[in-house]
Amino acid sequence: MRLVVKQAPDRIGGELAVPTSKYHAHRGLILASLAPGVSRLVGLSAAGHVRHTIAALRGLGVRVEVDGNDYVVHGGRYAPRRSEISVGSSGTTLYFLTGLASLAESPVTIVGQRYFQRRPIRPLLAALTQMGVELSAPTGCPPVAVTPRRPTGGRVSIKGTLSQWISGLLILAPFSTGPSVITVEGEFNERSYVDLTVRMMREFGLHVEVSPDGRRYEIEGNQQPHPATVTLPPDIGAAAFGLAATALHPSDVLFRGLPAAPATEVDHPEADLLQIVADMGLPMTADPATGMVRVRHDGIRLAPATVDCRSVPDMLPVLSVLGAVADGTTVFDNVAHVRLKESDRVAAMLQLNRMGARLEQEGEQLRCHGVDRLTGADLSSFNDHRVLMALAVAGTAAEGETRLTFPTAYRISYPRFPEEMGNIGLAMSVATGRATRPRREQAVPTPSKAAAVPIGTRLRRLAEQQPDGTAVIDAGIDGVERVLTWRELDEQVDRIAALLLDLGVAPGEPVAYQLPNQAEFVALALAVARIGAVSCPLMPMLRRRETTFMLAKSGARVLVVPREFRGRDYPAEIAELLAGEKTLAVEHVLVIGGTDVPGQKDFAAAVEAVTPDPAAIDRRRAAVEGPAQLLFTSGTSGEPKGVLHRMSTLTRAAAMEIRHLGLTVEDRVFVPSPLAHQTGFLYGMWVALVLGAPVILQPVWDGRTALALLRRHRGTFVQAATPFLSDLVDAVEQTGDEPTDLRIFVATGAAVPRGLAERATRTLGAAVCGAWGSTETCLGSLSAPGDEPAKTWGTDGRALRGIRLRVTDDEGNPLPSGQQGNFEVNGPCAFIGYLDRPEWTDEALTPDGWYRTGDLAVIDDSGYVRINGRVKDIVNRGGEKVPVAEIEQLLHTHPAVREAAVVAMPDPRLGERACLFAVAGEEFDLAEMRRFLDSRQVAKPYWPERLEKVPALPRNPTGKVQKFLLRDRIRQLIDTEDGS
């Protein structure tokens, strides 16, 4: 779905109702819950986060009632109704109630929405522990188990990173058995929110002594709050979007509920916004009849401003919209903290450049150079309420139409946003789909029905139903594109099938081919399938050692290779190989592009020389339950294993992904991953065939070439490893071109770093979906475009329908959600077994038939998977397990780091320590890494203790980092150093 915003008419007008402040509502409700007796809060808030606070308080046994336009709160000691208290998706509720839960009569565990299990709150937990709160949070994230015991107070220090942490400590301190002194260290952001907490505490009779600089708070213990009646003021943060709209258009708008008063007299932590927009030239006057703010003008040119984001960090999104059209350059200072919000709001607002704006970010400063006009664009909101609303307001001033992802994110803070904008004449509506062109839907068969049809039969039907429709677009190894229709592809497949029959290929016999991504690969794979043989694709990059091993293991008699690819002479190499390996079964070598080597045949000539016998081919119709693919694992460690799959398994797996992602016949599948790997073979070529959609093949990876192909052929879907995603994003940023039809990028092979995922979502305008799969099981988990952003690319997805996932301990016992363990998969897409290695097959499966992936994972309450690395990749530092994946993800957010991999290095005292291999700029060294991790409050035992900078990380052809090579490298370095 998208929020569709249309350009506004020449003039807007009417009334806009400003909601009550959610900041006051949060604090008022919580303080009232602590005061024995009945308190009344005048004014209701519909903000989603406030509803989470109410629900959590009710879970703690507090009566919260709605009386007309008031909240009535019956306060007193917390008597929990249940052992788990959910704070929903509200960070404020989490930070405030975690400590206050210690005042309850019985133990409680603070939980939240699934992605809160990755929200680090170690500094807050450490400060609460200093204050005497007894709690347990092994991961430093929720869930947090809190023991009922009044805190003791004491001296507490806390970094000024988040105001809610400080506010949470302040609200708890009066209930300690002794006095507390809270000291704020480092950069102090959002002090105005802390000042609000202190003011509201005093309304309930709780006293705090504040130093002049706001960095030291002294609170006596054993204080007794009293009930109070508090009127909730208007929410300046919500009014900001209406004010911005009136700044962009000739207006006559009354802001009902927003009294006309100087900013210094407004009780709201974001009151500075009123002065900022006034300084930019917005004429806000007092309406004579109501005393409320009215904006009336016939068009203005805004003046630029300089904004210190430490005072109004949440206002950067909406103010950057005004700066984008101001007469000059608006400067936002100290933006680093703004990047730690629900999303990286600085990066998110750089999307204004896609609307014709001129924003640039450097260090802790964002500059907006004003432009004369904006144009509509497809943008991402990152499921961030303020980003969504700010970009929507910008869209009302843009020529054409603006479309925004996650169209209901506004509900978190301003549920009536679209209605209020509509009341003053701005058109916003929710629509489905991304593309502006109509999409022809297709009834995709269920996986079970799809799996019952041989893929060769599926091709026949496509050739009959849409003979002139595009089937294959081959970008060409030589740069010359070729296009095959479904009829041409079907005819070519019959000819190759006839050739294979002439060569005596039997049912179930492997046919090997070592080809790049080209049309012949597709036709050959389908011909092999049509006669019931087994495809054995070999990666083009493999050399003699690997090729010899795989040919010997498969027993293939037929081998197809290219004449030349990437400077290699394949006919000569194969001739030399066969001359030296007399035991190989290869009898027929077919060369695409011709050959001069005696005994080898030109593939095209051999195909043209046969006359297909449809009846003979039909008699060899493949059995869907028979073996169809022999694929050798990529060999990130040890000997490659020959994985056997049935045709039904492949087709079912493709149909399951199609259903999960909502793909249709209108999609166009782009395949940059090698077709000789399961990602390209199954989730590129095979998915396109099951869909009946065109497949676009790129033989040699290059980001700019990929971008050109996507644009020229309107590619909509791609599944590839993270490096492909990174290079594509670079290409878009370097050229300014966009893959306008791309809808979905499924990133496999490794978790996508959050910074890259956000950047890719913003830059590509597509959903970036995390996934987990293996050669043996196909895809096990996959996110989807409709999932919340933290799930879409912040996890490895959720189980596809029909797949079961679990996490077990080392004894094989299933573990509950939220606990890390051995990741296991069970489903209808499992392999037949390892070729000629039944003992390996037995070892890979549990006694009850689940596949042991070898990965460590956590599955949250909603079923989303987070892979934390391979079992063998764990760093065991003196018994402390280093969270390798978490550290890698965090280091990826450093601006100088492009790639990061943490591996174990031997240590005589601790057994192992962590070593970081990084592709990074000159400014990134060991000292900078330590400073960075310290600033992110990472426990020191988790810090890598050695840094090796490399030009690139070793990867297999599908993009997986070969950590066994890195472990070997660091062992060799240490051995050399010890020897010297």
Three-state SS letters, 505-539: CCCCCEEEECCCCCHHHHHHHHHHHHCCCEEEECC
The answer to whether the beta carbons of residues 632 and 640 sit under 8 Å apart is yes
Looking at the fold, whether 309 and 342 belong to one and the same domain comes out as: yes
Average pLDDT estimate for 259-280:
87
Residue 456 has pLDDT above 80, yes or no: yes
**Separate counts of helices (H) and strands (E) for the chain:** 31, 54
* Short-list 378, 414, 410, CA closest to 5: 378
Q: Long-range pairs for 640-643 at CB < 8 Å and ≥24 separation?
A: 640/546, 640/549, 640/550, 641/834, 641/835, 641/837, 641/840, 642/550, 642/553, 642/554, 642/834, 642/835, 642/836, 642/837, 643/775, 643/776, 643/831, 643/834, 643/835
Read off the DSSP letter of residue 18.
P
pLDDT of residue 437: 39
Average pLDDT estimate for 389-401:
95
What's the token pair of residue 252? 């006559």
**Of 424-438, 448-462, 631-645, 950-964, which range is least confident?**
424-438
φ, ψ for residue 265, nearest 5 deg: -100, 0
- Give 486's contacts (C-beta < 8 A, 6+ positions apart): 459, 462, 463, 465, 466, 467, 468, 469, 470, 471
Percent share of the chain, pLDDT over 70: 95
pLDDT of residue 964: 83
Residue 438 has pLDDT above 50, yes or no: no
Q: Tell me what percent of the chain is helix, strand and coil, each rounded to the nearest 5.
A: 35, 25, 40
Position 801 in a domain: no
What's the token pair of residue 691? 């869909």
Residue 793's pLDDT band, with cuts at 50, 70 and 90, is confident
The answer to whether the beta carbons of residues 943 and 902 sit under 8 Å apart is no
* Short-list 406, 415, 344, CA closest to 381: 406
Looking at the fold, whether 240 and 204 belong to one and the same domain comes out as: no
Give the model confidence (pLDDT) of 671-689 as tens digits: 999 999 999 999 999 999 9
Q: Identify residue 839 by its one-letter amino acid code.
A: E
pLDDT of residue 119: 66
Helix axes 22-34, 163-172, angle to 10 degrees: 20
Three-state SS letters, 150-215: CCCCEEEEEECCCHHHHHHHHHHHHHCCCCEEEEEECCCCCHHHHHHHHHHHHHCCCCCEECCCCC
Read off the DSSP letter of residue 480.
-
pLDDT of residue 436: 39
Helix (H) or strand (E) holding 391: helix 385-396
Bridge partners of 727, per DSSP, are none
Residue 626 has pLDDT above 60, yes or no: yes
Average pLDDT estimate for 144-161:
92
Domain stops at, among 382, 399, 431:
431
Bridge partners of 181, per DSSP, are 155, 218
What's the token pair of residue 877? 């530092």
Looking at the fold, whether 134 and 54 belong to one and the same domain comes out as: yes
Residue scoring higher pLDDT (524 or 49): 524
Position 421 in a domain: yes
Give me the number of domains the chain comprises: 3
Residue 172 half-sphere exposure toward CB, CA atoms < 13 A: 34
Position 450 in a domain: no
pLDDT of residue 839: 93
Gap between the Cα atoms of 620 and 500, Å rounded: 12
Average pLDDT estimate for 593-597:
94
Bridge partners of 642, per DSSP, are 632
What's the token pair of residue 53? 């606070």
Looking at the fold, whether 133 and 28 belong to one and the same domain comes out as: yes
**Of 204-213, 728-737, 748-757, which range is least confident?**
748-757
Position 283 in a domain: yes
Helix axes 703-713, 722-735, angle to 10 degrees: 80
Neighbours of 939 (CB within 10 A): 12
Position 655 in a domain: no
pLDDT of residue 46: 83
Backbone torsion region of residue 186, taken as left when φ is above 0, otherwise alpha when ψ lies between -120 and 50, otherwise beta: left
Neighbours of 142 (CB within 10 A): 24
CATH number at residue 128: 3.65.10.10
Give the model confidence (pLDDT) of 896-944 as tens digits: 999 999 998 988 767 788 999 999 999 999 999 999 988 877 777 789 9
Looking at the fold, whether 38 and 82 belong to one and the same domain comes out as: yes
Looking at the fold, whether 367 and 276 belong to one and the same domain comes out as: yes
Gap between the Cα atoms of 140 and 118, Å rounded: 9
Tokens 């079907």 found at: 490
Range of the domain at 928: 874-979
Position 847 in a domain: no
CATH number at residue 937: 3.30.300.30
Position 265 in a domain: yes
Bridge partners of 597, per DSSP, are none
* Short-list 243, 213, 250, CA closest to 315: 243
Neighbours of 438 (CB within 10 A): 8
- The CA-based diameter of the chain, rounded to the nearest angstrom, is 100
Average pLDDT estimate for 200-209:
96
Bridge partners of 630, per DSSP, are 644
Is the link from the previous residue into 143 a cis peptide, with omega within 30 of 0?
Answer: yes
Residue 750 has pLDDT above 70, yes or no: no
Looking at the fold, whether 375 and 340 belong to one and the same domain comes out as: yes
pLDDT of residue 754: 67
The answer to whether the beta carbons of residues 513 and 560 sit under 8 Å apart is yes
- Give 191's contacts (C-beta < 8 A, 6+ positions apart): 160, 163, 214, 310, 311
Helix axes 455-465, 519-530, angle to 10 degrees: 120
Residue 637's pLDDT band, with cuts at 50, 70 and 90, is very low
Residue 880's pLDDT band, with cuts at 50, 70 and 90, is low
Residue 269 half-sphere exposure toward CB, CA atoms < 13 A: 27
Looking at the fold, whether 400 and 413 belong to one and the same domain comes out as: yes
- Give 228's contacts (C-beta < 8 A, 6+ positions apart): 31, 32, 35, 39, 203, 204, 205
pLDDT of residue 828: 95
Residue 595 half-sphere exposure toward CB, CA atoms < 13 A: 27
Read off the DSSP letter of residue 961.
B
Gap between the Cα atoms of 413 and 836, Å rounded: 60
Question: Catalytic residue at 314?
Answer: yes
Angle value at C-alpha 121, between 115 and 124, nearest 5 degrees: 150
Residues in the chain: 980
What's the token pair of residue 102? 């210690």
- Give 315's contacts (C-beta < 8 A, 6+ positions apart): 237, 240, 270, 272, 273, 276, 307, 309
The answer to whether the beta carbons of residues 91 and 65 sit under 8 Å apart is no
Position 946 in a domain: yes
Give the model confidence (pLDDT) of 577-590 as tens digits: 999 888 899 999 99
- Give 608's contacts (C-beta < 8 A, 6+ positions apart): 495
Domain stops at, among 231, 255, 285:
231
**Of 264-273, 867-876, 914-923, which range is least confident?**
867-876
Looking at the fold, whether 373 and 310 belong to one and the same domain comes out as: yes
Residue 432 has pLDDT above 60, yes or no: no
Neighbours of 927 (CB within 10 A): 9
Backbone torsion region of residue 824, taken as left when φ is above 0, otherwise alpha when ψ lies between -120 and 50, otherwise beta: beta
- Give 15's contacts (C-beta < 8 A, 6+ positions apart): 253, 254, 255, 256, 423, 424
Three-state SS letters, 709-721: HHHHHCCCEEEEE
Average pLDDT estimate for 121-149:
91
Residue 514's pLDDT band, with cuts at 50, 70 and 90, is very high
Looking at the fold, whether 265 and 147 belong to one and the same domain comes out as: no
Looking at the fold, whether 119 and 27 belong to one and the same domain comes out as: yes
3-class state of residue 353 by DSSP: helix
Domain stops at, among 431, 452, 487:
431
What one-character-per-residue DSSP string does 24-93 give? HHHHHHHHHHHSSEEEEEES----HHHHHHHHHHHHTT-EEEEETTEEEEEESS---SSSEEE-TT-HHH
- Give 671's contacts (C-beta < 8 A, 6+ positions apart): 517, 680, 684, 685, 688, 695, 696, 697, 698, 718
Instruction: Report the chain's mean pLDDT, rounded to a whole number.
Output: 90
Residue 499 has pLDDT above 90, yes or no: yes
* Short-list 545, 586, 588, 542, CA closest to 568: 542
Cross-sheet strand order for the sheet of 804-808? 804-808, 821-826, 851-859, 865-870
Q: Which of 235, 272, 314, 378 is catalytic?
A: 314
The answer to whether the beta carbons of residues 743 and 693 sit under 8 Å apart is no
What's the token pair of residue 201? 């505490």
pLDDT of residue 957: 64
Looking at the fold, whether 321 and 374 belong to one and the same domain comes out as: yes
Percent share of the chain, pLDDT over 90: 67
